[in-house]
């Protein structure tokens, strides 16, 4: 399904995750448009001397864009990453990463030849110490600066086409919040104009593969900073749930005793600050989110518009979604009817709301967190949390 989905994706938009390797966030890389860093193991670009990969011109799809985005040459995310870099490492075999220094997901070992099986588990089946370890890992990620990646705090034009780099450090957790924001943000058109009907991660066939890679990258980063190579994100199976079962202090944080919109001081998440929540402010300033703290996590499970989304999906609704045999249907966006992707994500053709939107609207939104893993039976079987919320 992954390849199938990617094939379609290209018809609409190139995928864009928006990560910037620190080693390429400088004038020299931006002006030459080359991001082919040396691999630590042998010092050669892309580990070429060890046959890990080589520096290549990036190849762009020639497929036409969908009608949803009637522009060309106005958004840095078009033909990602070609506005910033047109030569990058192409890795061989099981190697992966900006310098071919990593293994493809599912592989490990010095030569990336060892198959590695990791299991995603139901959060309610973790022991107390496993669960506490998970929460501690999240907190560690929130407090650990990313060594490998930085975020862009300006557009390519604002960077003077590369001669004035605008990048900033970010912690490992917020890196993913920012990437999710960057892929989803509106197009800045200059003056006070923006184009809102654009999203490089949602409402199109790329929704599933994008989020799948996103979570795999996120797990990989947590594995790196904790040294726990077996770390996986647990999932919450919310089928038939009456309320947000993880919204308590044992798990993702309960309500504050006097302010239902914020978290209980007994939760470690009550001291977290969110970023990238003020899209209208960034739009009016024609600026990018620069990851400045924007206040505590706001969450009020159950405080949703019950006439629109009365509850979380039932098992039967999940079964209906899984019975759809077409991955995607025209027009391959949020209006697609009987598309598996769109039913899962945005809009059940019978119920008028899909699972992702559903879970946002059922009031479990407004927190990160990881666990709002949209698990469906088949995805549970495959241990694939589909997505997590991020601010």
Ligand X SMILES: *[C@@H]1O[C@H](CO)[C@@H](O)[C@H](O)[C@H]1NC(C)=O
**List of residues contacting ligand X (CB under 6 A):** 33, 57, 86, 110-111, 160-161, 228-230, 281-282, 285, 287, 290, 292, 331, 335, 337, 349
Residue 94 makes CB contacts below 8 A (sequence gap 6+) with 103, 104, 107, 111, 112, 113
Q: How far is the CB of 86 from ligand X (least distance, A)?
A: 4
Q: How far is the CB of 384 from ligand X (least distance, A)?
A: 19
Region at 112 (left for phi over 0; alpha for psi -120 to 50; beta for the rest): left
Ranges of H-type helices in 171-272:
172-184, 207-226
Q: How far is the CB of 7 from ligand X (least distance, A)?
A: 21
Cβ distance to ligand X smaller for residue 282 or 358: 282
Q: How far is the CB of 217 from ligand X (least distance, A)?
A: 19
Cβ distance to ligand X smaller for residue 142 or 334: 334
Cβ distance to ligand X smaller for residue 84 or 210: 84
Query: Per DSSP, what are the bridge partners of residue 34?
Result: 87
Q: How far is the CB of 172 from ligand X (least distance, A)?
A: 18
Strand pairing category for 87-91 and 34-35 = parallel
Residue 367 makes CB contacts below 8 A (sequence gap 6+) with 252, 253, 263, 269, 297, 299, 389, 391
Strand pairing category for 20-21 and 107-108 = unpaired
Helix axes 128-143, 207-226, angle to 10 degrees: 90
Cβ distance to ligand X smaller for residue 65 or 287: 287
Extract the tokens encoding 91: 């890795």
Q: How far is the CB of 40 from ligand X (least distance, A)?
A: 15
Distance CA 147, CA 190 (A): 33
Q: How far is the CB of 281 from ligand X (least distance, A)?
A: 5
Cβ distance to ligand X smaller for residue 3 or 59: 59
Q: How far is the CB of 115 from ligand X (least distance, A)?
A: 11
Q: How far is the CB of 118 from ligand X (least distance, A)?
A: 8
Cβ distance to ligand X smaller for residue 241 or 287: 287
Extract the tokens encoding 252: 């993702």
Cβ distance to ligand X smaller for residue 305 or 352: 352
Query: Contact 205/5 with Cβ under 8 angstroms?
Result: yes
Which residue in the block uniquely carries the two structure tokens 């994500």? 345
Distance CA 367, CA 252 (A): 8
- The DSSP symbol for 360 reads I
Distance CA 70, CA 81 (A): 19
Strand pairing category for 102-103 and 87-91 = unpaired
Distance CA 311, CA 364 (A): 11
Query: Per DSSP, what are the bridge partners of residue 88?
Result: 35, 56
Cβ distance to ligand X smaller for residue 33 or 202: 33
Cβ distance to ligand X smaller for residue 49 or 382: 49
């Amino acid at each position: 399904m992954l390849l199938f989905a990617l094939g379609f994706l290209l018809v609409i938009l190139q995928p864009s995750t928006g990560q910037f390797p620190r080693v390429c966030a400088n004038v020299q890389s931006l002006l030459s448009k080359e991001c082919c860093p040396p691999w630590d193991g042998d010092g050669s670009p892309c580990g070429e001397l060890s046959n890990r990969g080589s520096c290549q011109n990036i190849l762009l799809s020639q497929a036409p864009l969908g009608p949803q985005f009637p522009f060309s040459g106005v958004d840095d995310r078009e033909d990602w990453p070609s506005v910033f870099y047109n030569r990058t490492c192409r890795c061989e075999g099981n190697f992966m990463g900006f310098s071919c220094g990593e293994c493809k997901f599912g592989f490990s070992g010095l030569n990336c030849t060892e198959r590695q099986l990791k299991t995603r588990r139901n959060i309610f089946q973790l022991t107390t110490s496993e669960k506490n370890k998970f929460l501690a890992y999240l907190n560690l990620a929130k407090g650990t600066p990313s060594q490998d990646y930085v975020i862009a705090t300006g557009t390519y034009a604002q960077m003077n086409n590369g001669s004035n780099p605008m990048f900033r450090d970010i912690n490992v957790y917020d890196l993913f919040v920012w990437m999710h924001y960057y892929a989803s943000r509106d197009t800045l058109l200059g003056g006070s104009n923006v184009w809102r009907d654009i999203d490089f991660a949602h409402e199109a066939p790329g929704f599933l593969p994008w989020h799948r890679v996103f979570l795999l990258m996120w797990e990989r980063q947590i594995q790196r900073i904790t040294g726990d190579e077996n770390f996986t994100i647990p999932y919450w199976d919310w089928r038939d749930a009456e309320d947000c079962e993880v919204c308590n202090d044992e798990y993702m944080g309960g309500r504050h005793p006097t302010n239902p919109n914020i978290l209980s001081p007994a939760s470690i998440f009550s001291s977290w600050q969110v970023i990238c929540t003020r899209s209208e402010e960034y739009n009016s300033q024609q600026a990018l989110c620069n990851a400045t703290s924007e206040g505590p996590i706001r969450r009020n499970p159950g405080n949703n518009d019950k006439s629109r989304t009365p509850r979380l999906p039932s098992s039967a609704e999940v079964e209906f979604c899984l019975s759809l045999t077409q991955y995607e249907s025209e027009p391959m966006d949020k209006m697609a009817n009987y598309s598996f992707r769109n039913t899962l994500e945005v809009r059940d053709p019978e119920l008028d709301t899909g699972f992702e939107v559903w879970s946002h609207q059922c009031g479990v939104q407004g927190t990160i967190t990881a666990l709002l893993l949209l698990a469906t039976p088949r995805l549970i079987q495959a241990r694939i949390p589909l997505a997590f919320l991020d601010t």
